Amino acid sequence: MLRKFCPRCAKETDELFEGLCRDCYLETAKFVEVPQNISVLVCRCGRSNEKKKWVQNVSVEEMIERVVMSNVRKDKDTDVRQEYEPFGINGKTLVPVCVVARRVVGGREIEKSAQLVFTIIPQTCDVCSRVSGGYYEAIIQIRGPVHRREQVLELVKRIVDQYKDTDKFSFITQVQDSKGGVDVYLGSSKIAGKIEQESKRIYNVASKVTHSVCGMKDGRALNRITILLRISD
Ligand SMILES: [Zn+2]
Ligand SMILES: [Zn+2]
């Protein structure tokens, strides 16, 4: 029987990976590269800051896997999986992640793992800071008989909820009782426009839109709209 030797360490072996023993192959082959540390700003609402933009996530786990994967450099014939222990977020949180790369060399499977530390840094996102700061772009004034007002208010809430994934400023800042009705403060004037259209389509509503400029923000005029929805019985 022909004996095989690793040309790098001279060890006798019966399996060679691209001409080297398993240990030497694992030491020298760069089939996966990961950074030692990855830090991401994460808001309590689950959004994370990536490339200076806040993005919505399905879960923290999904976010970690996606961010780690985008930082892994690997050959296309290499499969990568991630392993980490369950964790809870409490302030700045460090999650050790093991990245395991698997490839087939000469018909034999070989695995190589690399460690990295994923750091979650709590920070309030743009949406949450606007919500807590009482930000609004539009006021919907609902006027008319009480039971009809309730219906329109429900519609407003439904539309805001419906668009919250596509328009991050689709939120209600506050609902306030007002003379003859209720005022709803909204984070997005675009959503306010949709509410106007929908309430007119579904209910017997007359609307009146008033635009106003209320100061400047970051060098831009801050426009607010007030939409009066008057419901007939
Ligand atoms: Zn060797
Ligand atoms: Zn947030």
CA of 168 to the centre of ligand 2 (A): 10
Q: What is the pTM of this model?
A: 0.71
Query: Is 154 within 8 Å of 206 (Cβ atoms)?
Result: no
Q: Which ligand has the nearest atom to the CA of 49?
A: 2
User: How buried is 98 (Cβ within 10 angstroms: 0-12 exposed, 13-18 middle, 19+ buried)?
Assistant: middle
**What is the CATH topology of the domain spanning 31-124?**
Immunoglobulin-like (2.60.40)
**Comparing C-alpha atoms, which of 221, 212, 17 is closest to residue 111?**
17
Predicted local confidence at residue 14, as pLDDT: 85
CA of 186 to the centre of ligand 2 (A): 17
Q: Which ligand has the nearest atom to the CA of 18?
A: 1
Predicted local confidence at residue 1, as pLDDT: 58
Q: Residue 69 has which token pair?
A: 């994967």
| CA distances (Å), origin 31, targets 71, 115, 229 | 14, 15, 63
Query: Could you tell me the end-to-end alpha-carbon distance of the chain, in angstroms, rounded to an integer?
Result: 98
Q: Residue 109 has which token pair?
A: 């499977």
What CA–CA distance (Å, rounded) separates 189 from 156? 13
User: How buried is 3 (Cβ within 10 angstroms: 0-12 exposed, 13-18 middle, 19+ buried)?
Assistant: exposed
CA of 6 to the centre of ligand 1 (A): 5
CA of 80 to the centre of ligand 1 (A): 24
CA of 203 to the centre of ligand 2 (A): 34
Name the helix (H) or strand (E) containing 16.
none
CA of 42 to the centre of ligand 2 (A): 8
CA of 9 to the centre of ligand 1 (A): 4
| CA distances (Å), origin 64, targets 39, 61, 145, 188 | 10, 5, 50, 30
Q: Which ligand has the nearest atom to the CA of 132?
A: 2
Q: Residue 129 has which token pair?
A: 């800071």
Reading the chain (233 residues) residue by residue, the pLDDT tens digits are 567 899 999 999 888 888 899 999 988 888 788 999 999 999 999 999 998 999 989 999 999 999 999 999 888 889 999 999 999 988 999 999 999 999 998 888 999 899 999 999 999 998 899 888 888 999 999 999 998 999 999 999 999 999 988 888 999 999 999 988 999 999 999 999 999 999 999 998 999 999 988 777 777 777 899 999 999 87
Q: Residue 176 has which token pair?
A: 């306030």
Instruction: Enumerate residues with CB within 5 Å of ligand 2 (an ion).
Output: 43, 45, 47, 125, 128
Q: Residue 23 has which token pair?
A: 């240990």
